[in-house]
Amino acid sequence: MLPWLTESSAERLNDVRDTSLAKLVKSDMLALILRGVLAPGQRINEPDVAARLGVSRVPVREALRELESSGLVVARKHSGVFVRQLDAPEIRDLYQMRGLLDGFAGRQAALLPEGRMAALLALLDDSVHAMTDAAAKHEVQRYYGENLRFHWAIIEAAGNRTLTETYRGIVQKLHLSRLKNLSHDVGMQASIAEHAEIVQALRERDPVRCEALMAHHVGDAYLRLVDATPAMTGTAA
């Protein structure tokens, strides 16, 4: 399960004993946000959340504070808590940081020992095949999910816990900006070709080329998003 597309924890509330209620409530709301059930700009109603999950408002408030610290919601005085809407400069900055992290992960992944490399390449080959099939059928949401799986596999392969946590936070926030564009083809064919190049660089165990391809791929993805989103025109670095 991808960390930014978690399942709802509502059905697990009565089964989990070692996890705090606030963490379970946070997991539930995070899942709703990342699936677009709670849309960017939408107000989160504390009493409704508490009633739906069968908890008091105390863990709901604690969960909302944690979500606010992660940048996914924002509290407005006298108005309530709302799902974040990212502006164009923040999206640009997040893509720039993501490019750095993807590049580092690509370099590290190219240095994997033979057994782990074989497993990674098998997963990536399968992902590229699935993306190609999704693009041929114009299934944009399935393509997008496979795209995330491809990148997360390389991030995990780097074996750096701080990297994975930082990357998770960045991609979760970027996901908010993609929710409105998941029905549109944002350069799928060009992106697939770039993914295939990355896999080849890994297969050839070329860390320098893999780092460059990963970084450029993220940069190109951002530019494609800018081209497809009129409100973001002129924000590219």
CA distance 133 to 110: 26
The answer on 145 and 64 residing in a single domain is: no
- Which residues span the domain enclosing 218? 88-232
The answer on 119 and 65 residing in a single domain is: no
CATH of the domain at 131: 1.20.120.530
Q: Which helix (H) or strand (E) holds 73?
A: strand 73-76
CA distance 83 to 69: 12
**Global pTM?**
0.84
Q: Let me know if residue 126 belongs to a domain.
A: yes
Q: Where are the beta strands (DSSP E) in 113-179?
A: none
Residue closest to 109 by CA, chosen among 146, 145, 160: 160
Query: For the chain, what is the domain count?
Result: 2
Please report, in tens digits, the pLDDT of each residue of the chain (237 residues total). 455 555 445 545 454 444 588 999 999 999 999 888 999 999 999 999 999 999 999 999 999 999 999 999 999 998 999 999 999 999 999 999 999 999 999 999 999 999 999 999 999 999 999 999 999 999 988 999 999 999 999 999 999 999 999 999 999 999 888 776 666 677 899 999 999 999 999 999 999 999 999 999 999 999 988 887 766 654 433
Domain boundary among 83, 104, 131: 83
Q: Let me know if residue 4 belongs to a domain.
A: no
Domain boundary among 52, 68, 83: 83
